[in-house]
Amino acid sequence: MNPLLERLNPYPFERLRALTAGITPNPELRHISLGMGEPKHPAPAVVEQALMANLKGLSSYPLTAGDPALRAAIAGWVGRRYGVQIDAATQVLPVNGSREALFAFAQTVIDPTRPGATVVCPNPFYQIYEGAALLAGAQPAFANSDPARNFAANWGQIDGATWARTQLLYVCSPGNPTGAVMPLDEWRELFELSDRHGLVIASDECYSEIYFREEAPLGALEAAQKLGRGDFRNLVVFSSLSKRSNVPGMRSGFVAGDAAILKKFLLYRTYHGSAMSPMVQAASIAAWNDEAHVHANRDEYRAKFAAVTPMLAQVLDVALPDAGFYLWAGVPGGDDVAFAQGLLAQYNVAVLPGSLLAREAHGHNPGAGRVRLALVADQAECLEAAERIVRFTETYL
């Protein structure tokens, strides 16, 4: 067996199941889960119709590079969304959701024969980053979130020697779980580090279309273009339809950026066997070409957050994030695990302890004392969950 498998940490939900195994939730209340970041809004009709209309596509093998029509649709969306023109033939690839691509990308980029191969991640973080680094034979290093900067990653915590060993940097903007969006000055800093050390930047942007301001979040390709980096050197962006279009079960997204890197990534994917189903490609074209359902989806999230956030702010340390569909809430007493266990036992509401999403780094676990609340259900269910959290918290300590 691959000995690197032994380096993997249990996934947060596996750890949470162990921590709540002996708890019997209050049977008088129906279960409400705010733990899993799984969209619950209905899939758009335009996507469902495209899937059903293209069932005959199942009779043929798809190309790993994807149909040219899909790559053109993705490039068109990037142009409309970010004002950035990319070459559909060389600078974009369809992928089976951003999760599999984020993992596979590290296996393509990392050279484990180089001493001290390192992957830098934000902390807390999407757990795929760490697992991808470990199975690629690299060592993860963590930049903790900074509460003073709306929980953005503090890249200044990474010392020069670590940056010199770094081959890959995972960025998540808007962030999971904090919702922080990186400004242009922060991108300038990271691009300078990339140039200095030759590291590749993987920008995870799967939450880019759920936001609460009038101005849409800045994307990495957009930032690169504004900073005179139109070749997108050492930069690859990862996007997905899962959150944007409420189709997590379709497993559809794309990567875009540096053409030379994507050429190598396509070679890896050809052997890996990760081509997208033709019917999913057809449905993806329909999704990327339609913005009406995206606006409706965003409006629904905005209404939920406007209703729920003020309620929870009465009892928790929480504020509206820049973007995404999570609230990153500080709990009284500072014990996020105990808070989650008590809330489940007494009020049958599941939340994810923040300490399970982070690692001890720079002297502390930056997720400790906070919980992640995924407002993915309909507004009525989210409001009921918020009411229970308020009642629980008022008597918690």
Q: Is the pLDDT of residue 58 over 90?
A: no
What pLDDT is attached to residue 345?
Answer: 97
pLDDT band at 32 (very low <50, low <70, confident <90, very high): very high
pLDDT band at 57 (very low <50, low <70, confident <90, very high): confident
Letter string b/e over residues 59-96, b meaning 16 or more CB atoms within 10 A of that residue's CB = eeebebbbbeebbbbbbbbbeebbebebebeebbbbbb
pLDDT band at 150 (very low <50, low <70, confident <90, very high): confident
β pairing state of 326-330 and 349-350: unpaired
Burial class (CB in 10 A: 0-12, 13-18, 19+), 191: buried
- Contacts of residue 269, defined as CB under 8 A and 6 or more positions apart, other chains included, come to 64, 93, 95, 104, 275
What's the CA gap between 294 and 217, in Å, rounded?
15
Domain with CATH 3.90.1150.10 in the chain: 3-42+293-394
- Domain 3-42+293-394 fold is Aspartate Aminotransferase, domain 1 (3.90.1150)
The answer to whether 108 touches 143, Cβ cutoff 8 Å, is no
- Other CB atoms closer than 10 Å to residue 8's CB: what's the count? 12
Give the chain's largest Cα–Cα span: 61
Domain with CATH 3.40.640.10 in the chain: 46-290
Strand ranges, E, within the chain: 32-33, 92-95, 118-123, 139-146, 152-153, 166-172, 200-204, 235-240, 253-257, 326-330, 349-350, 352-353, 370-374
DSSP letter string, 303-372? HHHHHHHHHHHTTSB----SBSSEEEEE-TTS-HHHHHHHHHHHH-EE-EEGGGG---BTTB-TTTTEEE
What's the CA gap between 117 and 31, in Å, rounded?
44
Distance of CA 102 to the CA centre of its chain: 10
**CA-based end-to-end distance of the chain:** 48
When pLDDT is averaged across residues 152-165 and rounded to a whole number, the result is 97
What's the CA gap between 164 and 74, in Å, rounded?
34
Three-class SS of residue 283? helix
Q: What is the pLDDT of residues 201-237, one digit of tens each?
A: 999 999 999 999 889 999 999 999 999 999 999 999 9
pLDDT band at 60 (very low <50, low <70, confident <90, very high): confident
β-partners of residue 211 are 323
Amino acid identity, position 240: S
Residues recorded for the chain: 397
What's the CA gap between 137 and 74, in Å, rounded?
32
When pLDDT is averaged across residues 139-144 and rounded to a whole number, the result is 98
Nearest one of 219, 206, 217 to 98, comparing CA atoms: 206
Q: What percent of the chain has pLDDT over 90?
A: 94
Q: Is the pLDDT of residue 120 over 80?
A: yes
- Is domain 46-290 classified as CATH 3.40.640.10? yes
